[in-house]
Amino acid sequence: MSIEYLKSILETSRSVVCLLGRAPAVEHGSDFYRDEYSGEIELKYGYSTDEIFSSTFYQNRPKTFYKFYREEILKKRGEPDECNFALKRMEEDGRLLGIVTRGFLNLSRRAGCRNVIQLYGNIDENACPRCGKKYDADNILGDTPLPLCEACGAVIHPGVALKGEILDNLIMTQAADLVSRADTLLVVGCNLMSSLGSLVKYFNGRIVALINNEAHYSDHKADCICIGNISDIMKQVYPAEAGQQSCSVKFENKETGEKRMKKVKTRFAPSPTGRMHVGNLRTALYAYLIAKHEGGSFMLRIEDTDQERFMDGALDIIYHTLKETGLVHDEGPDKDGGVGPYVQSERNAMGLYLKYAKQLIDQGDAYYCFCDKERLESLKTMVAGKEIAVYDKHCLHLSKEEIEANLAAGKPYVIRMNMPTEGTTTFHDEIYGNITVENAELDDMILIKSDGYPTYNFANVIDDHLMGITHVVRGNEYLSSTPKYNRLYEAFGWEIPVYIHCPLINNEDGQKLSKRCGHSSYEDLVEQGFLTEAIVNFVALLGWSPAEEREIYTLPELVKAFDYRRISKSSAVFDMVKLKWMNSEYMKAMDDEKFYEMALPYIQKVITKDYDLRRIAGMVKTRISVFPEIGEMIDFFEEVPDYDVQMYVHKKSKSTIETSLAVLQEVLPLLETLEDYSNDGLFQVLSGYAGKKGYKINQVMWPVRVAASGRQTTPAGATEILAVIGREETVKRIRSAIEKINDSL
């Protein structure tokens, strides 16, 4: 993954815990941790590293132990590298809670890090086993054969846990507790299957980020992965100027003309009404990409003002979708950034929206409306075949006394915006340019509903301003409402944000993407077997085109490449064929172990026999576009389906029913006695038979494959199939095929 993505994660994290492995020390020149080091030590000392670095050896051969300890560890301990200094900077910035490490060279503490849990101790905390007097590493170095305690003369014990000694349970508990308090777990220089990496089981936060110098099959368990030189990566992801590199956007004070810089901040503000529509996911993605591309922040806000449409469980869907897609918000209901609450119903309970609505009333920019349902119905008219209602400002003209009497009597009301009826309103959108509308077309929109809740339009403006949103990303269906938003901003004297309206998403038939199509939500697509990475990639291209000629992008690559000015005005088409192609490309590139884990449930749905399922997974990996396709592609492994013997006729291989019968009859005894049922062993036998008989290899392989599978198309060749099903099943299937052909003749 991109270093830029990891950098953005660390810059927005508040409680990072680092699991620091030994790889950085190896990179920096420490011999002790090198894999080949033990062999070198054995040649030099006559004992392996494991033998020397043990409690037994320390007790029985202390002079040899300390010769090794001094020469190979203390004198070669090295100095802290950029990895340790980056962690120090992170700690000084208040982002790093602490470090947990198995390394004992004390490099992190020597770099200046304060909270370091060293599971195996460290070379600077040596102690006398008799009186407890402490000695640092420099005290251990000397010309005497053994380092002796100045107080009692006993041989000093190294501050490192030796093989055979029990680790301190309290330290392990402290480490687990520290990991449990992190919002980001940074694993550096070890894999997630190591003893240190296993501490991830105590992690309850948002992101597991991995930095290592080599890939490992367990890497897929991390949310963000960077492979390469560890010191170089750390220097880039958390440089000395970290937190000071965010790009900004210029805003102008209309009254003074003064220009100032403001950090880019976007938001995703979904309503908890059900599954996340592809259009909503695209809005969230674009808002995230704009913020991260500019070094800004991405906020989550829950807009639940429409209480009638609120759906239980919808909030969980929102959180789950954002987490799965990697759109990690920097602040929101679960991450206080200082401008909360982040749920509109909670903000409404504080009286926030009513306060601002009354301010507009006092200014003459809004008014109470007491019109009942019957009167409002009477205002409806037909325009171009559509029924519309334009409010006639009736209640604008109520006297102060009338208003007070109505309020005192508890008469239901709404609060409306007093829109101008003459002139025009012009606003700018980054995609559609300047748009001008006649003010006469602007209805006196409702700000506060009769139930006391604000309307979507009103709450949006209030919250976007108070929360410091600089760029508003939404669908172009809101273009018509934007002049109303601007009127509100102007009435309050607030800065108008940058507007980015995205085009509609249509299905293959040119109609607006709806629930009826069966793939309108992120959850629909996941259930249909699409990979999250492919979905995100595909959705990014629904209305946006990159500057370069490519279509496959990881999320970090999208962050780097995304220029919102390249968003199209034209409607995007949800092309299922393209999505399947893209998904297949991600599957091909997927780690074999991860693919196997994801494919296994689909394989086990159709195969119950004791076959090598990993091998079967490998067969289908490059041949499917979605996981549910696996079943019908491999079900012949379980049982050969009924098939027509005409399947043995193959023009290209010049196979006929008769030649196929002859081949099967002649190869059967060869396969009955064959010991080596590997792919290579099977191919050698069958190709050897073809050569002796003067057959082309396909004339042999075709009937064998049909007999073994009952299919003309299979995910693997004949010998690969036979290698999986084994000798007994192979012989059984070929005998059955011979019988089937004979019965047809």
- Which active-site residues does the annotation give? 515
DSSP string, 45-99: HSS-HHHHSBHHHHHH-HHHHHHHIIIIIITT-----HHHHHHHHHHHTT-EEEE
∠ CA 247-249-253, rounded to 5°? 145
In whole angstroms, what is the distance from residue 379 CA to residue 371 CA? 11
The token duo for 570 is 């034209």
Burial annotation 449-488 (CB, 10 A radius, 16+ → b, else e): beeebbbebbbbbbbbbebbbbbbbbbbebbeebbbbbbb
DSSP string, 616-632: HHHHHTTT-SSGGGHHH
- Picking from 193, 207, 243, 192, the residue whose alpha carbon sits closest to that of residue 17 is 207
Give helix 3-11 / helix 230-237 axis angle, nearest 10°.
Answer: 50
The token duo for 441 is 């077309």
SS3 691: helix
* Residue 118: C-alpha distances to residues 102, 128, 170, 397 (Å): 6, 19, 12, 75
- Picking from 133, 68, 80, 96, the residue whose alpha carbon sits closest to that of residue 10 is 96
Peptide bond into 341 cis (omega under 30): yes
Burial annotation 608-625 (CB, 10 A radius, 16+ → b, else e): eeebebeebbbbbbebbb
Name the one residue in this structure whose structure tokens are 């003074």: 256
∠ CA 510-516-517, rounded to 5°? 55
- Picking from 697, 691, 723, 690, the residue whose alpha carbon sits closest to that of residue 708 is 723
DSSP 429: E
What is the signed CA dihedral for 89, 90, 94, 100, rounded to 10 degrees?
A: -120
Q: What is the radius of gyration, based on Cα positions, of the chain? A: 35
- Phi/psi at 534 (5° precision): -70, -40
The token duo for 277 is 């529509």
Q: Which helix (H) or strand (E) holds 250?
A: strand 248-252
Strand partners, 298: 266
Name the one residue in this structure whose structure tokens are 């789950």: 320
Name the one residue in this structure whose structure tokens are 């029985």: 60
Amino acid identity for residue 400 in this structure? K
The token duo for 640 is 């050969």
* Residue 533: C-alpha distances to residues 223, 317, 555 (Å): 12, 18, 8
